[in-house]
Structure 1
Amino acid sequence: MIVSVIDREGKSHELPAKPGQVLMRVLRDADMGLKAECDGCCACATCHIYVDNDWYGKLDAPADEEQDMLDEAFDVQENSRLSCQITLTEETDGLKVVIAPDWD
């Protein structure tokens, strides 16, 4: 399966992934610029991404914990998610995301 990613410089990438992987780990392993400081514990929002509008509704809705962390993030949009909270499945093959701007 593939995840399509636009990095912070606007460059497009197609990253291989497997069902069951957490999106944050796929992005971090590919050096997409995510800090992911809490290592996926939903405690920092440094893995903030924007999910393509065509894909957003196909994902499970964000839990309250994720929504609370997004309230602390910068440049939040309606399609913002934390990549540590998205587990990839066969149904997410082709998922399109954009890496949110860095906080620094």
Structure 2
Amino acid sequence: MNFCLSILLTSVSRSRMRIASYCSSVKNSNLTKVNKENGGIHVTYITKECERITIKGKLGDNVMYLAHSNDIPIEGACEASLACCTCHVYVNDEFFDKLPTPDEREDDMLDMAPFLKTNSRLSCQIILTDELDGIEVTLPPATRNFYVDGKKPTPH
């Protein structure tokens, strides 16, 4: 049986509670969506259900908008204006250090993200470059949003 597990960890930095999430066994999916007009940079999204979905994006694509255009369930309530943390993802270690350091506004929004880890980033702030080819981002078990009735918002 494939399922995601969460483990509560102690505070790691800046007195933030970190929660590590991992998949006991990640489903190998045949779902590989290709954005044919873009092609080039591979991004693998690992969903809450531990499903791996690989997309091809282009230089300069934003990881959140790339997800939206390929039906990956990342919310992005503020539409990349750095006013929320609903596009929070975990970046795999191999690529985390290749990303620019988050600015103060992104860091402030990450402070509000549930299930925060040391490799947490806002996907709206991850811009694809050649050196990010092959990046994997994992969606956290939940996000902080304004919907309490189970509604799944769609991008505008």
| Structure having the larger proportion of residues in helix | 1
Distance across 2 between alignment mates of 1:101 and 1:65:
23
Q: Distance in 2 between matches of 1:23 and 1:4?
A: 10
Unaligned runs of 5+ in 2: 1-40, 149-156
Q: CA deviation at 1:36?
A: 0.5
Structure 1 residue 42 displacement after superposition: 1.0
Aligned to 1:24: 64
Between the aligned partners of 2:62 and 2:94, the Cα distance in structure 1 is: 20
Quick one: distance in 2 between partners of 1:102 and 1:34? Answer: 10
TM-score normalized by structure 2? 0.64
Q: Deviations over 1:40-79 (max 9, x none)?
A: 1111110000000111001111111100000011000000
1:74 corresponds, among 100, 114, 121, to 114
Q: Greater RCO between the two (CA within 8 Å, min separation 6)?
A: 1
Structure 2 match to 1:3 = 43
2:129 corresponds in structure 1 to 89
Structure 2 match to 1:65:
105
| 1-structure distance, mates of 2:122, 2:86 | 8
> What count of residue pairs does the alignment treat as equivalent?
104
Cα distance, 1:84 vs structure 2: 0.5
Q: What amino acid is the match of 1:56? A: F
* Greater Rg over alpha carbons, structure: 2
The equivalent of 1:41 in structure 2 is 81
C-alpha separation between the residues in 1 aligned to 2:111 and 2:47? 22
Any stretches of 5+ residues in structure 1 without a counterpart? Answer: none
Match of residue 51, structure 1, among 84, 91, 98: 91
Identity of aligned residues (%): 38
CA distance in 2, matches of 1:100, 1:68: 18
Displacement over 3 Å in runs of 4+: none
